[in-house]
Structure 1
Amino acid sequence: MSANVLEVAGLTAGYGQIEVLHGLDFHVEDGEIVVILGANGAGKTTTMRAISGIIGRSGTIDFDGTSIGSAKPDAVVRAGISQVPQGRGTLTDLSVEDNLRAGAYTVKGSVSDDIDRWYEVFPRLAERKDQRAGSLSGGEQQMLAIARAMMSRPKLLLCDEPSLGLAPIITQNLFKILGELRDEMGMALLVVEQNAGLSLQLADRAYVLETGHIVATGTGEELLADDTIKQAYLGGVG
């Protein structure tokens, strides 16, 4: 059995006096793809921000055997977690290549080989390496956001709504690339999504989040076959 690279217990978090997450328990195994499903307002993005240390949280967050429950965002990145934020979060006034270099701020030594690697994975970025990131298409910006996050050489990649605002064909290709990255590099992924169909096909396991509580869990196949999940997230189709 694989060890848990991320173990979360009793996680609560929110904004000011408003508590959004109410004691979440979940884990991600080494090399596993885990998806958290939920509607708008369920607490998906809050979960990601809590793990990354962007917002205050309480509870237990252990990563690779070390507690990061009180760690600041830069320490979380240095520990081996990188995040692709909702809305991509590219540095719009910088070039594509400068965005990649910014993503490697925790890496010591040359990152030229890393940049070349991500240009191979995303050839469109190589074609636009000197172009301002803000002028890229939505799909290209999402490619850049993933490549920039990977520049820190993470052991766990957090992806917050990677399909948001993208055409279906681009989304399908993006999810295919995420699966290939896991297979080739052996890293773990935690993905939060509203696109249940595609994300459950990608997932080894999944959790369903409603109003800050986990209400269901299972393998991707199990949840795809669950009539309740179909009605809530797949329109009853399948």
Structure 2
Amino acid sequence: TAGYCIRDYHDSGRQEVRNLFVTGMRDYASKCYWHMLTRQRTLLGLLAVSVALFLSSGSLLLALLAAPALLAAAWRLLDSYFGWFIQLCLEDDLRDIQKTYLEGEDSHFWVAESDGEVVATVGAKPSAPSGDGERRVWHAELGPAVGQRKRGIARALCRTVLCFAQQRGYKGVTLIVGIWNWEGRRLYRSLGFREIDRISPKVLVGKIFEDVILCYRY
């Protein structure tokens, strides 16, 4: 057996859902950070700073400490950036989940439950009108808890949204995913989603960490 069930959201679990979202976004922040560390320009930049400091000061110790100091500062900056985004979401869609997702006929919110605990969530609501005039559902997946992955929960939630869209007569489903979220990207492609656009970050912090957002459509 799968060991979990997917059910409709109940407002009694509002705080549990919000806490799960915060935990998941903090995990995404770590992924974004490691994505930055693997970029060639990051490594070259750190090397350039260290060499410049050594040549200007003649201090090997200062040059060696430069990279760890810059990486620590980068993490604090990224953590603040994600903290701002988390707060924005908690005060928007997740402020009143019942009103946002369950009071409209063409929107819904589900949770995956395992051993009486909410371990993943997903929401669906009508997306903004597209240029081709077709009606689509916006897929807002908040993902499974860190310790609950590799169980097929995210795949089951995605299929739940796809079935919901089909039953409501929508022509497709759209979603966004971070370029650094390799697991999510593989999942969506395996389900038949395709990339249709890339959104480059407008704020400086996003540009530093290459927080590119990919738009997928089913």
Relative to the length of structure 2, the TM-score reads 0.32
Relative to the length of structure 1, the TM-score reads 0.30
Structure number with larger C-alpha Rg: 2
